[in-house]
Structure 1
Amino acid sequence: MASSVEELFAFDSLLNDEEREIRSTVRKFADSTLRPNLAEWFENGTFPVRELAPEFGNLGLLGMHLDGYGCPGMSATAYGLACLEIEAADSGARSLMSVQGSLSMTAIHKYGSEEQKQQWLPDMAAGTKIGCFGLTEPDFGSNPGGMRTRATRKGTDWVLNGSKMWITNGTVADVAIVWAQTDDRIRGFLVPTDCPGFSANEMHRKLSLRASITAELSFDDVVLPADAILPESRGLASPLGCLSEARFGIIFGSIGAARDCLESAVAYSKTREVFEKPLAGYQLTQAKLADMAVDIGNGMLLAVHLGRLKDQGVIRPEQVSVGKLNNTRTAIRVARECRTILGANGITLDYPVMRHANNLESVLTYEGTAEVHQLVVGQSLTGESAFR
C-alpha cells in the first residue's frame, strides 16, 4: 500500500488532537479556497489580500500564536502546522500570515503601548486591517543595522524620511511598521499609510512570489505624532526579534512546499507511462522519491522538535537558524528534483512544482539568507563572529 511522508514517519503520533484538527482545518481551507486559483494568481502576478485576509482571520491564522486582543493564543507548534499547510499551497499565501502575524502584529504586541495594541491588533487579527513591516532597504538587506531611513524629532512630533524595499503587502496595508535610525538607536514607528508624504509603489517583473504583493515604500517628510513610536522598541534587537518569529514559520512552511512537490511527483509518476511502463516502476524514479521523502520527513521532525522547544520557551535564535537553513535548502532541492520527474510538464502551471521552486528561491533568502544563517550557526559552534 502506498504511503505518504506523514505515514512513513508516523508523523501524527507526534501531534495532539488539537494540532491534528488545526492541520486538517487549514488543509481544507487551502484546498478549497487557495489551490483552485493559485495558477491564475501566479501567472497574473496578483493576490487578493483584502478579500482573503478576513477568511484567514476567521480561521484564526493571523497573529495565531499571540495572546489577547482578539488573537487565538495557540501554541507555536500549531502555528507552524498552519504555516506548513498554507505554504503547501503557495509561499506567497504563507507570507500573508507571516507578515501580518509574525512581523507586524508581533511588533505591536511586543513593543507597542496598550493604546496601540487596542487600536490595531483586534482588527488585524480579524483581517480587516492589514499591516506591513518596513525593515529592508534597497542597499541594506543582510545588514539592516546600516539603514538610512531616519526619524528626527521636531517639537513633540517625529519627521520620517527614507525608503524600504521588498515590502510584502505594502500597497494594500493600513499601517506600516517602519524601523528607522534616531538619535536614540533604531526605533519602530506605527505609520498609517494615509499619512501625507507616505507612498507605496508595487514592484513588478518578479519571477518568484508572484502570488504576493511586493512594494517599495517611500517616506518624504512624513510627520508622525509622539505616540507613533513603539515605546518598548530599543535598537536592532527589536526588529530582529520579529524576524525570528517569521523564520520559525518558514521552518514549517518551506517543508510544506516540499511535501506538495513530492506528492505531485508521486502522483505523476504513477500515471505517466514511459516505454510502456509507469514512471513510478523504474528504480531511478523510486530512488529519487525515496531520498526526497527521507529529507522531507527529517525536516518535519526537526520542525516539530523546534516547535516543542518554542512552546517550552527555551528555543534559541541559532536553533531557529538551524531549522530555517536546513528546511529551506531541503525544500528547494526537492522542488528541483521533482521537476525532473515531471519532465517538460513540470515547467507548466498545470502542476505546482515549478511555481514552488520559483517561490522557494525567495524563501531561501528572505528573513536571513542561507549564508547569514550559516554564520549564525558557525558562531554558535565556534564562539567567533565571522560577519565582518
Structure 2
Amino acid sequence: MNKLLELINRKKKAKGPLFIGVSGIFFSEHEQVATEMTNVLKEDGYSVIHHHVPVSYNLSVEALNDKNTGKYIYEHSLKNKMEDIAAFKEKEVDIVVVDGLFILKNLYRDMYDLTVWIDCTYETGFSRADECNVVMDKDSWKIAKDIQYSIDAPKEQADMIIVRDECIERGPQIILHETFNDSLNPQLNWLHEPSVWSVKNGSLYVKTDPITDFWQRTHYGFQNDNGHFLYVNTDRDFVMTTKVRFNPKHQFDQAGLMIRIDEENWIKTSMEYELDNPAKLGAVVTNLGYSDWSTQPIQSNVTELTFRITRTGKDYVIHALVESEWIQLRVAHLHDDAKEVMCGFYCCSPIKDGYEVHVDELIIKELLV
C-alpha cells in the first residue's frame, strides 16, 4: 500500500474528493482489496467512502438470447449502475474508492484520478467461483473480459497493479523442455511409435512408416489415424514451440505440432510436401470427426521450420516462423469439453515411407491468462 499512498500524495486535489477505481476480472478479489485499501487509508487519517458497483453473474434472459452473449455482458453489465458515483463528487471526503467489474472501461476512465488493476488468472477466478458455488456462464464471461482487454487495456493503463493470484506470483511453469540429449524424457509418450527413431546429439530422429496420416472424412472420404505422435498430457493453457528439420521425399510428407483430445478432435500444423508444386504450409483442425485444411504456399526447398501453438481454453492460435517472421496460420477452436489434451510433435507419410525428420527442441510453457 506504500505505492498507493505515494500516488495519492502526488495526485492530491485542492477541491473535491480524489477518486480511485479498483477493478479486475471476476473473483479477482477486487472488492476485498478495495475494502482493505479503504481501511488502510482511514488508518492513515483520510476520510474515505467505498462504493461497490455490483454485477450479477446470473445472466438475464435477454443476455442469454443475444447472439453474442459475451459482447452483451461487456456492453450492458454496468447499465444504470455508474450514475450514482457522480453524486460522490459533492461529498466532503478526501477519497472515494470505487470497485467493480468493467468500471475501467474507456467510457468511465475520466471519472478516476487513480486506477488499480487486481491481477488474477481466469483459472483462479473460475476456481473461486466454484468454491463459492456461484453458477456462471464461464465462456461468456471470459469472452466479455477478453473484449475489455482488447478495447480498454485496463491492466496496461492502470496506475497500479496488485496481484491476488498464487499462479501469477510463482510465474508460468515449464511443462516440458526437451532438448533430446541421450534419452527421451520419461514425460513423453508415443502414439503410434515409428519403427525407426533415436535420440542422440541433441536431436530426435524419426524415419516415418509408410501410409501413416491423421485425417478424418472431409472431402477425401477416408479416415486415417495412425501418424506418429510424441506427446505429453496437460490441462493448462500453454505456448508450445518446436523446430523441425526434414528431408521430404513423397507427396504429403509432413512434420510439426499436434494437439489431440481423441481420434475425432485434434489440430495439427506442418508443411506438407507437394512434389513438383509449391509445398503447403498450414493447419488441419478436426472437430466432431471432420477435418478441414487451411493452407498457404511455401517453397518446396524449405528444409526446416519452427512452429508455435498457443492454447487458451478451447482456443488455439497457430504460427510458423518463416524467414525470421512469425506468420499466423490459423485461429481455431476445439469444441470438445475435455480440459486435458495431448500436445507435442507429430510426423507422418501418407504415401510412402522414408521421410526423415530431426526435432531439435520441444518446449511447452504454461500461459497465465
Higher Rg: 2
Same fold? TM cut 0.5? no
TM-score w.r.t. structure 1 length?
0.24
TM-score (norm 2): 0.24
